[in-house]
Amino acid sequence: MAERTIARPSKPNASTASACASKPSASDLLENKQTQLTSLLTCCHGEDGLLAHCSSFDLLSNVLWLAADLSREAGELYQEVAAAAR
């Protein structure tokens, strides 16, 4: 099975320092949110997942709240990207 590549912010160097000063594009932010949400849900899924043996309702509630927030933010960014593409 191929390894998953997780997108992470790159470290700025001298040639990209000015580019890093600008706000990331909605497309980049959307990719980050999607990667974060996928990673979170992958960790929580299945018998060996983080939440498989979790007895804390508060922890489960907070993880689901985080997933819902990431999903909502990704949806908003998708709308922004789709509008810009038109």
Q: What is the pLDDT of residues 28-43, one digit of tens each?
A: 999 999 999 988 888 8
**DSSP state, residue 15:** T
* Strand, helix or coil for residue 50: coil
| Max CA separation in the chain (angstroms) | 49
| pLDDT over 90 at 46, yes or no | no
* Structure confidence at residue 79 (pLDDT): 94
Count the residues in the chain.
86
Q: Say which amino acid occupies 5.
A: T
**DSSP state, residue 25:** P
C-alpha pair distances (Å), 50 with each of 8, 14, 67: 22, 40, 14
**pTM, two decimal places:** 0.63
- Distance separating alpha carbons of residues 46 and 59, to the nearest angstrom: 17
